[in-house]
Structure 1
Amino acid sequence: MLDPKKLLDDLLGSQIPGTGSTVRDKAGQAAQMAKDNPLAAGALAAVLLGTGTGRQVTGAAIKLGGLAAIGGLAYKAYQNYKAGNEPAQAPASGEPELLPPPADTAFDPAQAPQGEAEFTLTLVRAMISAAKADGHVDDDERKKIADKLKLAGIGAEAEKFLLAELESPLDLDTLVAGAKTDAQKLELYTASRLTIDPDTRAERGYLDLLAGRLGLPDALVDHVEATVSAAKVPAGNAPNSPW
């Protein structure tokens, strides 16, 4: 049975079995990881979400879990926006503090009107759509991912779901419709921005289009950009990373 929360954790940065590192730590060497440790499903996430990024979500997000991390970042960005604060800055040293969203807010996963599992899958779809934005997931790349998914042992349903999403054309109407509340719209954008560092016109254009379709104010988007950027560190520089 497909476990949406586990799948989201894997995509955001699950622990690689037998190591103290996350999949994002070694994003640039994901193919070698899959070869060396074929049971490390996390290696597939790095390939799936694009290996070009040089930054990763900090360990704080891994400890919280994907759903709480996305909700926490979206909530922090929203609070700063409403308070009229300056966009968040990364700390001079160490990991930035990352907390789950308060339980009594619309950002609490348990408050999802369509159910937590369904909204989690919407976030996964948002991440995959963002990963495809620069066009790097072509037919050859999909075949490579499919081959590695078979080695990963993530489960037949998860494998089938991911491959189907990779094959599917971009459908912003359905994706945007999956966010039922203003808080979920912000979380959907936050998940998409977590997936990619928009260093190409295609990626930047996709995020701008998504923000527009979600009806997010420019100033709020700026806060998400700053909050997510502050929650990332250069790949390989995460605390306790052996690389």
Structure 2
Amino acid sequence: MNASQIFQQVMKQAGGQGRSQDSAQSGSGSGVKDMVDGLSRQLSGGGSGSGVDMKSLLGGGTLGALLGSKGGRKMGGKALKYGAIAGVGALAWKAWKSSQQSSSGDENGENDGADRVEVLDGDGQERRSLELLKAMIMAARADGHIDEDEQALISGQIEDMGADEELSRWVEQTLKEPLDAKALASEADSPQAAREMYLVSVAVVDEQNPMERAWLDQLGSALELGDDVTAELERQAQQAG
């Protein structure tokens, strides 16, 4: 499979979308405003067709497909958390270090963040990329509203990014298998992987949605992260935007 190649592209998409948001919020450019205006027109019946074309509003790409109908809700209340995806490894490590400030020493023997997804290579990066892609897909499904058309959109977007046949089959399977936080957590290959899995999940869900909030709580418990760490990961995600 070529999961690492695909996840690196997802991170780059997130970085690009995050810069568009920063530009719009600072007054240069109109990325977010255009998205919101377009969404408002479609919701009010001004767009063509009966559905909300989130792929168009979000600039296309796998991120738009993963966010799907969630994008409309998030745009109404807060910025999408692209930054948490673009810098997932560094932010997850920063969150852990911040949560440990009140502790003496390095309890888990982690002192350099050497297994962040950004610095892994070879089989290690491939495995971590699969873990994070799966966490994102499961989080996107947490509200139970991804239908067959949206599943096909996600699969198609990942194929367009250059997924090989094996990865494409894996994506289709992941879109259909039962939501199981414990099973997902069991795939984390290190404490850093667990933090990254939780962080990308936070980036995709709307915490105000009870079903999505419940999924985060289940995942955090299954990953055995602890309340301090999950709270700090969520804080970092919000700050990253």
TM-score norm. by structure 1 comes to 0.66
Distance 2:130 2:236 in 1: 23
Give unmatched runs, 5+ long, in structure 1: 35-39, 86-101, 233-243
Question: Greater CA radius of gyration, 1 or 2?
Answer: 2
Q: What is aligned with 1:220? A: 229
What is the rounded CA distance, in whole Å, between the counterparts of 1:164 and 1:73 in structure 2? 29
Q: Secondary structure at the match of 1:205?
A: helix
Deviation at 1:107, TM superposition (A): 4.2
Distance 2:128 2:233 in 1: 19
RMSD over aligned CA atoms reads 3.7
- The reply on whether 1:133 has 2:157 as its aligned counterpart is no
Aligned residue for 2:180?
Answer: 171
CA distance change for structure 1 residues 7 and 113 in 2, over 3 Å: closer, same or farther? closer
Question: Number of residue pairs matched?
Answer: 199
**After the TM superposition, which residues 42-191 of structure 1 pair with which residues of structure 2 at under 5 Å, given as runs?**
42-52=60-70, 53-54=74-75, 55-57=79-81, 66=86, 69-84=87-102, 104-109=112-117, 110=119, 115-146=124-155, 148-149=156-157, 152=160, 154-157=162-165, 158-191=167-200
Matched, 1:6 2:5: yes
Flag structure 2 segments of 5+ consecutive residues without an equivalent: 22-30, 40-52, 104-109
Is the 8 Å Cα contact of residues 11 and 49 (structure 1) preserved in structure 2? Answer: no
> Deviation of residue 77 (structure 1)?
0.8
Q: Note the alpha carbon deviations across 1:161-209, whole angstroms, 9 max, x for none.
A: 3222212222333321211222221121112112223121000000000
User: Sequence identity, in percent?
Assistant: 26
Whether contact under 8 Å (1:77, 1:220) holds in the other structure is yes
Distance 1:128 1:13, change over 3 A: farther
Q: Between Structure 1 and Structure 2, which shows a larger proportion of helix residues?
A: 2
The TM-score with structure 2 as length reference comes to: 0.66
